[in-house]
Amino acid sequence: MYRFDALIFDVDGTLAETERDGHRVAFNTAFAEAGLDWEWSPGLYGELLAVSGGKERIRRFVADRGPGIRVPEDFDGFVAELHRRKNVHYAALLRSGAVQLRPGILRLLRQARAAGKRLAIATTTTAENVETLLECSEESGLVGWFEVIAAGDMVEAKKPAPEIYLLALAKLGLPAAACIAVEDSDNGVRAALGAGLRALLVTVSSYTRGQDFSGAAAVVDGLGAAGNGCKVIAGGLQADGQVNLAVLDAMHQRVYGGGSA
């Protein structure tokens, strides 16, 4: 009944607010464990998020600190190990319940599944991190709902490059016009648009408020949940407090004017 075939979701900031109380805290724990005196405050972390990808973020931080900073000779190995330990701490945080799915996510996923829509993920983080996040939700077996998980180092260039979305589309075997993408950041918007995904909804997250989402079909402050309705920021959606499949279908129609190819 709806004229699109699949929903493709970003993860960090979109499925859940993972950054401040998840990845950031885990990075700091890994730094302390490695004997480094690095501390990423919530504010500094917001600036560092301009670089997507945890390993890439560490590299940028080191580069920005200039020649004064002492790093081991095997810099690649050092970054890889720090990042591996960060993800061990991140998984523990997820299992402790430090991060929840955003309001309305499960509602929309359940509706999509009931309507036979295909679900995919296109993320900068690792597949393991995605799986742990989904496994920690109240919906058991949620990870199995996603037919495609395009993640992390499966591609050479991370967002804002379009590669991860192109990979998700290739794995789905669908043209961009048959899909709706949901993102939370400017880097994500550029990646999705670069892959031709014009039916693109932005659900702004705590770190991305105020970013430039030009080109997105619509911008909301969330998907909305009972007693916690969403606000439409741009794009004129008739969401009436909650983004559901009918709202997304209307957005898709507006972008493609009736055809889906």
**Near ligand XBP by CB under 6 A: residue from 6, 8, 17, 19:** 19
Classified as helix, coil or strand, 148 is: strand
Q: Which of residues 47-106 bind ligand XBP (CB under 6 A)?
A: 52-54
**Near Mg ion by CB under 5 A: residue from 4, 10, 28, 211:** 10
Q: Indicate the residue whose CB is closest to Mg ion.
A: 13
DSSP labels for 58-110?
HHHHHHHH-TTS---S-HHHHHHHHHHHHHHHHHHHHHTT---BPTTHHHHHH
Identify which of 101, 117, 135 has the alpha carbon closest to the alpha carbon of residue 172: 117
Q: CB count, 10 Å around CB of 20?
A: 17
Cβ closest to ligand XBP, residue 38 vs residue 256: 38
The β-bridge partners of 119 are 7
Q: Which of residues 165-184 bind ligand XBP (CB under 6 A)?
A: none
Site membership for ligand XBP, residue 28 (CB under 6 A): no
Edge-first strand order for the sheet with 6-9 is 148-151, 118-123, 6-9, 179-183, 200-203, 218-220, 232-234
**Near ligand XBP by CB under 6 A: residue from 188, 222, 224, 235:** 188
Site membership for ligand XBP, residue 185 (CB under 6 A): yes
Torsion of CA 107, 110, 115, 117, to 10 degrees: 100
Site membership for Mg ion, residue 125 (CB under 5 A): no
**Near Mg ion by CB under 5 A: residue from 13, 54, 103, 152:** 13
Using the structure block, give the residue that is written with the tokens 């909804």: 201
Piece of the chain touching ligand XBP by CB under 6 A; list 28-36, 68-76, 117-125, 213-221: 117-125
Active-site positions? 10, 12
Which residues of this chain interact with ligand XBP, rule CB under 6 A? 10-13, 19, 23, 52-54, 123-126, 129, 159, 185, 187-188
